[in-house]
Amino acid sequence: MGKKGDERACVDTDFKLSGVENLRVVDLSVIPLLPNNHAQSTAYLVGQTAAEKMVAEYGLEHGSKL
């Protein structure tokens, strides 16, 4: 994972795969270094962060109409 435009990063901070449209990577492979804790808790945090970003991007807040 890296900033948008970083040539060394495969995934940007919005979990979007570089060079591919409409595809996101949301798993532990986006973390460059795993912290010293249980990997499952880190996976939950990655998933929650990605979900919050997608809800905001697509306007999926509770009560919104598509």
State the total domains in the chain. 1
Structure confidence at residue 66 (pLDDT): 60
Range of the domain at 32: 1-60
User: The tokens of 16 are what?
Assistant: 């979007």
Tell me the sheet residues that pair with 24: 16
Does residue 11 fall inside a structural domain? Answer: yes
pTM of this structure: 0.83
| Residue 65 belongs to some domain of the structure | no
Residue 17 located in a structural domain:
yes
pLDDT digits (tens, 9 = 90+) for 6-38: 889 999 999 999 999 999 999 999 998 888 999
pLDDT surpasses 80 at 3: yes
Residue 45 is assigned to a structural domain of this protein: yes
The whole-angstrom separation of Cα 45 and Cα 27 is 10
- Is residue 29 included in any domain, yes or no? yes
